[in-house]
Amino acid sequence: MKLYLEGKGRSERTRDKFEKDMKQLAQRANLDVPQDVELAIARYKLLDKKTFQPTNQPATNAYKQKLCSVYHHYCKYYKIPWELPRYTPEPASIQPPNTEKCLLLIATARSELSLKIDISVQTGLRPIEVQGYKGLKVKDIHFDECTVTSRNTKGCNPRPPIHITQRLLMKLGTYITEHNLQINDLLFKGDGQRYSEHFRRFKCRLAKKLNDPSIKAIRLYDLRHAYVTRQLRLTQNCETVRQRVGHKNLNTTQKYMHLLAGASGDWIIASTKDQKKVDELLNDDFQYILTTPDGYMKFRKPK
């Protein structure tokens, strides 16, 4: 089966997950009897993360649909007739971290993890687009333009270069020099799972240290959600944001619009000549408006 999936272009990580899910189904049902498997999926209970034994907590419809998809490949390979059931996923509850929480994560993480979190917050790249075989390379950092480009994953559309702050650009330059990286080298070694695991351990320690359970609830992918929400607030244009994040379907981007509900039309105005203050304002979701004749740069953001 793993060779079959490899021939279908599935990644090693996907093949390993497939094998793990099939072993779980095999413990619950006879894989050659689709009716048994359907019933096992319908009654599926989540596993305890420590003991790996079934709990009393039922699996979500999204997870059941995933198991159906896994078994569907098994049936195709062994030519077992089976009609794929449809489980309607529960509406996703997106609660991206606010700017203060993002800055807290960046400030308290260790140097390399802090750099990766900073990239995720400022670019909205998926974890596998930051670290992994499709992750960022040195050549993807454009120091003259102060931008980052990303390779496409999950079949997303090509994205324009993403602007980052001068502060992050300097951190990237220092990191590349210290690690003696060449133009075609990946910025970070290891796969995307390593990034996720380091982030999970870090946020759990930080939540315990600060006695703040909300930090533990932040998923690494929520940093991408935070970026999309921030861009929607600044541009008020779904199509512009869709292009920036590479969504194929505008409906995907529009799912974030409800997070902007209740925002008034009032604005907070700020102005400065100091470049450091400029970076702080941009990190705090302010949007550049114009530069006055006497050199002051004006910014605004919704109240």
pTM of the model: 0.67
Domain 99-260 has CATH 1.20.1250.20: no
Domain segments of the chain as ranges: 2-78, 99-260, 267-302
Residue 295 has pLDDT above 50, yes or no: yes
Average of pLDDT values for 274-297? 77
Residue 40: name the closest of 85, 91, 102, 88 by CA. 85
Q: Please report which helix (H) or strand (E) contains residue 204, including its range.
A: helix 192-210
Please compute Rg for the chain using Cα positions.
22
196-247 pLDDT tens trace: 999 999 999 999 999 999 999 999 999 999 999 888 888 878 888 888 888 8
Task: Compare 257 and 168 and report the one with higher pLDDT.
Answer: 168
In this structure, are residues 290 and 298 in contact, taking their beta carbons and an 8 Å threshold?
A: yes
pLDDT for the residue 267: 62
The residue among 267, 295, 299 whose CA lies nearest residue 283 is 299
Q: What pLDDT does residue 263 have?
A: 44
The token duo for 3 is: 């060779």
Tell me the range of 9-23, 86-100, 137-151 where mean pLDDT is highest: 137-151
Angle at which helices 61-78 and 34-42 pack, to 10 degrees? 170
Is the pLDDT at 272 greater than 90? The verdict is no
Q: What is the pLDDT of residues 52-111, one digit of tens each?
A: 677 888 888 888 999 999 999 999 999 999 998 888 776 556 678 988 999 999 999 999
DSSP class of residue 45 equals E
